[in-house]
Structure 1
Amino acid sequence: MSNTETIFEVRDLNVTFQMNRGQSRVVRDADIDVARNETLGIIGESGSGKSMLASSFLNAVVEPGVTTGEVTFYPEDGNPVSVLDLSDSELNRFRWEAVAMVFQGAMSSFNPVTKIRTHFRETLQDHNRDIPAGMDRARDLLESVYLDPERILDSYAHELSGGMKQRALIALSLVLEPDVLVLDEPTAALDLLMQRSIVTLLRELQAEYDLTLVFITHDLPLLTKLADRIAVMYAFNIVEIGTTDDLLYNASHPYTRALLDTTPDLNVPVDEMDIIEGSKPDPVDQIPGCSYHPRCPLADDHCRSEEPAMMTVRNTQESACFYYNQAADAVPISAAPSHSPTTDTATDGGDR
């Protein structure tokens, strides 16, 4: 991917925490590019490192976490930005003006004793933006996410439903016109209908505001409705990446295939659903070789002694597995999630 196409480039990224029992690595040697105007999905089990990887895009891993490696942002006009080398003041501008993040749990993102209007005004003021013009944009954004601007601006967070809070937070994240929006489990606390509405809404916002989206979730069926490409994380690293169709119909890492096969299906009884046998890896006591080998039906001595690098499977797909060409036979998939786009309409959310 050339720099004219790339908006983010991540190389040899590691995130570590020092714990009483040793150093915990919660992102390991991650390499990934994000293309301008694409939607990149990042998926994996809870605790796989998804949120830490996403936070690294903004150098926002909280202390005592330590982020090393290279994270480069390529603005459409201007010089490349080394994100991990930015000063505190530069980071403050970068995090809102170039890249914004919507964290998990909209309620905790708003000050409960401050009206939504004040959140918008303070954000604009902190970045030396014209307040009247910025508030006009805020009203346009709130309308874009199917909310009544004056009602929302004059409300406290506790007066809004979960879906309304989440959409107000998305509008707030866009008020400074960032190029990239990173969303960390933005639908986790919402019901199924509102989850689908948020996905529809994000597609509309992406087209209207020329956005690049990075969407982090553990909900694979939801992600397939939105993502152009999907990166699969296991044991704090990316083990497979490709287009959504690549991963749904030609997944080549045994973990990806197992993940697809454990996706909930309303047509399958609970007692007949597959699970991934074994335990998730420990961030401190990391095993030699391929991190998935204790749970993998293809594992042999080679896997137990050497960690596989990412290998090109096809033009748009890479997999960190020595035996990627045998994965389909070893881990058959009974039913992959549908990739047909959702057609739900994002509404004002009612009392959801």
Structure 2
Amino acid sequence: MAIDQTTDRRVYSADDPIIEIRNAAVTYDEGRSYVLDHVSLELERGEILGVVGESGSGKSMLASSLLDAVPSPGHLTGEITYRPDGEAPINLLELEKADRRSLRWEDISMVFQGAMNSFNPTLDLRTHFEETLRAHDADIKKGLGRAEELLEDLYLEPDRILDSYPHELSGGMQQRALIALSLVLDPDVLVMDEPTAALDLLMQRSILLLLSDLQEKYNLTMVFITHDLPLVAALADRMAIMYAFRLVEIGDTRDIVENAAHPYTRALLNSTPNLDAPLSEMQPIDGQSPAPINMPTGCAYHPRCPLATEECRTEVPDYHEVETDHGSACYHWQASYDEVPLLHENSPGDTTGGVDE
């Protein structure tokens, strides 16, 4: 699940990891500003991992790191190991440019926020698929056949979609077509960075149901990055909570939702609309997340945390094992249950963004 960056103590180790991240850090300003601060985790083969946090918490930078695609002049350090099934492990940060280009889309693919910005408006969708296949020396005819199957899986009419230009499709259709494009080369891992942020609630629900079906049919490993905790709670097997560019809590989804141990995670749950509680009972989190150039010492959450002590202000907390496969980077995780009570009973699928039927 996580490894403490100071002691290298494992909180959780995946039985069959497909990606292992060790102390991944992204810096700017010649190393003075961190936008990803020594994150370590293991991604289990075949799971759906939800990564949750406020805007500016480092979620998108984590996604870019998984493809070694951090925008310049950002500098990525640490270790990111991809383990193809039955093949030798690959250190992503040591790949030559051609090998890295091949790995993207073929092994690890990504769906970005805002499908319209991912398409060339002057090309129809068929050309997008053909150029992607051609760039990776894939069989065009076979690849288009897979594209048609994927589009059908996503409840889209292949002929209509492939002959359309991006602007001729609705937002939901664009996003589903982009998901199909990201899967056309049959990758093992699909990383999704806020893929439903611009869509209405019903379309978000629909796409999450489709993603669940795709994951099962194609045996995908997924990383779903979002600021919307209830949205991912009904989809993910595990959840990783990020705050101020660090991983602060990770564990089984149901355990996180029902038994969150970090004060920030509990505050996120209390700030989220829920069918069992009126909006008037929701509690926004006071204060703001810190900027990379103005990070507090110790635990980054301490300026907003009601449990903060002098230890929190001066020392970065280790991960503490809450339950099996559930870790929280907080000195006062046990006290958080009483000091930051949840306003209502939570369970995956009970929230307004859930997809359970």
TM-score normalized by the length of structure 2: 0.92
Give yes or no for the alignment of 1:9 onto 2:20: yes
Partners of 1:116 and 1:153 within 8 A in 2: yes
What is the match of residue 51 of structure 2?
42
Gaps of 5+ in 2: 1-11
The 1:267/1:339 distance shift into structure 2, 3 A limit, reads closer
**Among residues 325, 328, 337, which one is paired with 1:319 in the alignment?**
328
Q: Using a 3 Å threshold, how does the CA distance of structure 1 residues 127 and 4 change in structure 2: closer, same or farther?
A: farther
SS in 2 for 1:284: helix
Q: Provide the C-alpha distance between the structure 1 equivalents of 2:15 and 2:145, rounded to a whole number of angstroms.
A: 32
C-alpha distance in 2 between matches for 1:55 and 1:337: 31
1:303 equivalent in alignment to 2:315: no
Query: 1:100 deviation in Å?
Result: 0.2
> Who is 1:342 aligned against?
355
Asked if the contact 1:221–1:338 (Cα under 8 Å) also holds between the matched residues in 2, the reply is no
Whether 2:221 is the aligned partner of 1:212: answer: yes
> CA–CA distance in 1 between the matches of 2:332 and 2:76?
31
Aligned positions of 1:44-63 closer than 5 A:
44-63=53-72
Give matches, 1:140-219, under 5 Å.
140-219=149-228
> How far, CA to CA, are the matches of 1:272 and 1:199 in structure 2?
27
Aligned residues: 342
Residues 271-282 of structure 1: pairs in structure 2 closer than 5 A: 271-282=280-291
Q: Does 1:246 pair with 2:259?
A: no
**Alignment pair present for 1:112 and 2:112:** no
Per the alignment, residue 79 of structure 2 pairs with 70
Equivalent residues of 2:14, 2:43 under 8 A apart? no
What is the distance in 2 between the residues matched to 1:4 and 1:290?
Answer: 30
CA distance in 1, matches of 2:265, 2:186: 35
Identity among equivalent pairs (%): 55
Q: State the distance in 2 between where 1:3 and 1:39 align.
A: 13
Out of 272, 291, 294, the position equivalent to 2:300 is: 291
Q: Report the CA distance between 1:272 and its aligned residue.
A: 4.2
Q: What one-letter code is carried by the residue in structure 2 that aligns with 1:295?
A: R
Between 284-293 and 333-342, the greater mean CA deviation after superposition: 333-342
Question: Following TM superposition, by how much is the alpha carbon of 1:342 offset from its aligned partner in structure 2, in angstroms?
Answer: 2.2
Pairing 1:73-152 to 2, within 5 Å after superposition: 73-152=82-161
Compared with structure 1, are the counterparts of its residues 132 and 242 closer, same or farther at alpha carbon in structure 2 (3 Å cutoff)? Answer: same
Matched residue SS, 1:137 = helix
Distance 2:14 2:228 in 1: 31
How far apart are residue 18 of structure 1 and its match?
1.6
Q: Is the 8 A contact 1:239 1:320 kept in 2?
A: yes
Q: SS state of the match for residue 104, structure 2?
A: helix
Q: Following the alignment from structure 2 to structure 1, what is the Cα–Cα distance between the partners of residues 337 and 278?
A: 24
CA contact (8 A) 1:261 1:336 kept: no
| 5+ residue gaps, structure 1 | 345-352
Residues 244-266 of structure 1: per-residue CA shift (max 9 Å, x gap):
11111111101111111110236
Cα RMSD of the aligned pairs, angstroms, is 1.6
Deviation readout 1:281-326 (Å, 9 max, x if unpaired): 1211222111111111111111111110112111110000011111
Counterparts of 1:105 and 1:153, CA distance in 2 = 19
Residue identity matched to 2:34: R
CA offsets 1:99-121 (integer angstroms, 9 cap, x no match): 00000000010000100000100
> Would the aligned equivalents of 1:217 and 1:223 in 2 still touch at CA under 8 Å?
yes
The Cα shift of 1:23 comes to 2.6
Whether contact under 8 Å (1:263, 1:337) holds in the other structure is: no
Instruction: Judge conservation of contact 1:260–1:336 (CA < 8 Å) in 2.
Output: no
How far apart are the structure 2 equivalents of 1:152 and 1:278?
Answer: 45
| Distance across 2 between alignment mates of 1:162 and 1:56 | 27
- 8 Å contact from structure 1 (residues 17, 23) kept in 2: yes
Distance in 1 of aligned mates of 2:66 and 2:289: 25
Paired letter, 2:188? D
Alignment check: 8 A CA contact 2:287 2:304 kept: yes
Q: Deviations over 1:155-205 (max 9, x none)?
A: 000000001000000000000000000000000011110000000000000
